[in-house]
Amino acid sequence: MKQYAAGVTAAQLATVATTLPVTSIRTADYILQLSDAGCLVPVASSSAVTITVPSHADVAFVVGTTLYVAQDGTGQVTIAAASGVVVQTADGYNVAGQWQEVALHKRDLNTWVLKGGVR
């Protein structure tokens, strides 16, 4: 069996590569932070919550960054763009409902694509 750095096997490496870190649960409006990159941002609230995608000048996510937002509560989660930011989507900016997840992918300095369970 081939081993990688420090005795890590291919199976162990595959497990690490497919594990998605989860950030702190958000219960109120929130502006995405660098620490959210590559993570699932769970939102658990019975009230509506807005998750804002910040401008590159405010939070310098690397182009190519992907992160995920989950609506774990019954309150509607909406993805919003800060001033100067474009969030492109074919279906809308609201997460489709409780237990739905969406992905945000940074395509350019202030351009993101929103996909997944949106309406």
Tell me how many helices (H) and strands (E) the chain has: 1, 8
* Residue 101's CATH number: 2.60.120
Instruction: Return the SS3 of 51.
Output: strand
- List, for residues 20-77, the tens digit of each pLDDT value: 899 999 999 999 999 999 999 999 999 999 999 999 999 999 999 999 999 999 999 9
In DSSP terms, 40 is beta-bridged to: 22, 68
In a domain, 100, yes or no: yes
Which residues form the domain of 57? Answer: 21-116
- List, for residues 68-99, the tens digit of each pLDDT value: 999 999 999 999 999 999 999 998 999 999 99
**Number of domains composing the chain:** 1
The structure's pTM equals 0.85
